[in-house]
Amino acid sequence: MTGEVLVTGAAGFIGGHLAAACRRAGFTVTALDPAPSGEESTAADGVVPATAGDAGLLADVRAGRYRAVLHQGGISSTLETDRDLLRAVNVDEPLALAEACAAAGTPFAYASSHSVYGTIRGRFAVVEEDVADPDRCTGPLNDYAWSKLTLDQEMTARFGDDAPWSGYRYTNVFGTGEERKGSMASIISQLLRQAATGVPLRLFADTLEACRDYVPVETVVDTLLDVIRQPPPPGVYNLGSGVPVSFATLLGWCGELRGEDGLAVHLVPNPVSGRYQYWTCADQSRTGAVLPRARGLAVEEVRSAAHRLYRTFAGATAQPVP
Q: Has 144 been annotated as catalytic?
A: yes
Q: How far apart are CA 293 and CA 306, in angstroms?
A: 19
211-216 and 244-246 strand pairing: antiparallel
How many beta carbons lie within 10 A of that of residue 274, not counting itself? Answer: 8
What phi and psi values does residue 304 have, to the nearest 5 degrees?
Answer: -65, -40
Distance of CA 89 to the CA centre of its chain: 17
CA-angle at 254, arms to 249 and 257, nearest 5°: 125
Question: Catalytic pick from 110, 117, 144, 278?
Answer: 144
What phi and psi values does residue 187 have, to the nearest 5 degrees?
Answer: -65, -35
The alpha-helical segments, DSSP class H, found in 83-214 are: 83-86, 93-104, 143-159, 187-196
Q: Has 181 been annotated as catalytic?
A: yes
Strands (E) in the chain, as ranges, are 4-8, 28-33, 48-49, 68-71, 108-113, 165-170, 172-174, 201-204, 211-216, 235-239, 244-246, 265-268
Catalytic residues: 144, 181
